[in-house]
Amino acid sequence: MEKTKKIINGQDNVVEEMLDGILAAHPQHLRQVEGSARSIIAVDGPRPGKVGLVIGGGSGHEPTFLGFVGRGLADGAAIGNVFASPPPDPILECAKAVSGGAGVLFMYGNYAGDVMNFDMAAEMAAMDDIDVRTVLTTDDIASAPRDERDKRRGVAGNFFVFKAAGAACDKILSFDECERVGRKANDHTYTMGVALSPCSLPQTLKPSFEIAPGEMEVGMGIHGEPGIAVGPLEPADAISDMILDRIFEEMAPARGDKVAVLVNSLGATSLMELYIMNRRVKQRLDERGISIHATWVGNYCTSLEMAGASITLMHLDGELQEMLDHPCDCAMFRVV
């Protein structure tokens, strides 16, 4: 079979080389923890008395996670191989590096591998007298029924959840408060997506799965985990409606409510397509009398070069809105 073309050197060093390139591009924002190359922390973030925020997970979702490390958002990120959790060591090193004595929050997507590795790191941190609490992101409403929300995966919506928690930490709220804001942010965040064509791991250079011509996969995971259904590729409005209907069903927004919107590309899907979807999002929200506080459109949580997109709504209250508006200055994302 035809090999997927990628601009890489060898398959073994993609993550190291990517990190080198990221550090070369963003020296004002990011640095490596001494002796732990996969632990990246904000140049200007962690500080005494502040709850440290460590995020992380597999590579291949850029700008998630590294792009969201910086003052006002996450203090550090532990970086795994492509689509693989980081091992406990780099997570632990991040925790040590960003700990300001007020506790460290671990936030990451709810995947078995990540949970096991982060939990081991938390156990190790406890031995170093660092108090770690964990908030898992579980925004992918397609990944489990509503009454099993804690089984759901974390996908593009983790951007909102990290942002809110990062703001809480930056405001020097207490550990309890930071954790509470993180959980609340996650509870208020709903994502669903569709995939149109697969991605290939750098190590195999062949598609990790198949989506037949003319078809799309509804609710596919950001690592190519099969979704909830396969169906014919629908027009942009129908796709947006299908996603929004499910989100509305869970979120149950009332007239006058406020949301933040994220229309995210899985990689290859263009801004043109995302904005066409956003047009429909706006129409549907207008119809329901829901006001849009802010909209982000672009590559926020990708799956290598997968084609497809997701829509995330965060159901805002005053507090969450304040957290989203709080300034942050990250290598790949900024709120001023």
Partner 1 sequence: MANYDGASLVKMFKAIATAIAAQKEHLCELDGKIGDADHGIAMALGFGAVSDALSELDMDGVAPTAVFNMAAKSFLNAVGASSGPLYATAFMRAGATAKGKISLAEGDFVAAFQAMAKGIEDRGKAVVGEKTMVDAWRPAAEAMAAAHAGGADLAASFAATVAAARKGAEATIDMVAAKGRSARLGERSRGHMDPGAASAVFVIEAMERGLDLSG
> How many Cβ atoms are within 10 Å of 129's Cβ, its own excluded?
8
Token digits of residue 323: 């957290």
User: Could you give the angle at the alpha carbon of 217 between the alpha carbons of 216 and 218, nearest 5°?
Assistant: 115
* Nearby residues of 19 by Cβ (< 8 Å), 6 or more positions away: 32, 37, 38, 40, 66, 79
**From 65, 68, 83, 162, residue interacting with Mg ion (rule: CB under 5 A):** 83
Residues 29, 188, 223, 315: which is the catalytic one?
223
Sheet holding 52-59, edge to edge: 30-33, 36-42, 76-82, 52-59, 104-109, 132-137
72 belongs to the binding site for a copy of itself (CB under 8 A): no
252 binds, among a copy of itself, Mg ion, ligand ADP, none (CB under 5 to 8 A by kind): none
201 binds, among Mg ion, partner 1, ligand ADP, none (CB under 5 to 8 A by kind): partner 1
Q: Is 61 a catalytic residue?
A: yes
- The DSSP code sequence of 109-158 is E--HHHHHHHHHHHHHHHHTT--EEEEEE--BTTSS-GGGGGGPPP-TTH
Task: Report how many residues bind ligand ADP under the rule CB under 6 A.
Answer: 3
**From 77, 97, 107, 261, residue interacting with a copy of itself (rule: CB under 8 A):** 261
Decide whether 170 or 217 has the Cβ nearer to partner 1: 217
**What are the distances in angstroms from CA 288 to CA 71, 252, 321?**
36, 11, 20
Decide whether 84 or 218 has the Cβ nearer to ligand ADP: 84
> How many Cβ atoms are within 10 Å of 34's Cβ, its own excluded?
9
C-alpha–C-alpha distance, residues 289 and 269, integer Å: 29
Residue 236, CB half-sphere, CA atoms under 13 Å: how many?
Answer: 16
Decide whether 113 or 298 has the Cβ nearer to ligand ADP: 113
Decide whether 58 or 76 has the Cβ nearer to partner 1: 58
287 belongs to the binding site for a copy of itself (CB under 8 A): no
Q: How far is the CB of 162 from a copy of itself (least distance, A)?
A: 17
C-alpha–C-alpha distance, residues 78 and 325, integer Å: 26
**From 47, 87, 89, 113, residue interacting with ligand ADP (rule: CB under 6 A):** 113
Could you give the residue numbers annotated as active site? 61, 223
User: What residues line the site for ligand ADP (CB under 6 A)?
Assistant: 84, 112-113
Which residues contact a copy of itself (rule: CB under 8 A)?
Answer: 2-3, 5-10, 14, 17-22, 24-26, 59-60, 62-63, 82, 194, 196-197, 202, 213-214, 216, 233, 235-237, 239, 261, 263, 267-282, 292, 295-299, 302, 304-305, 307, 309, 329, 332, 334, 336
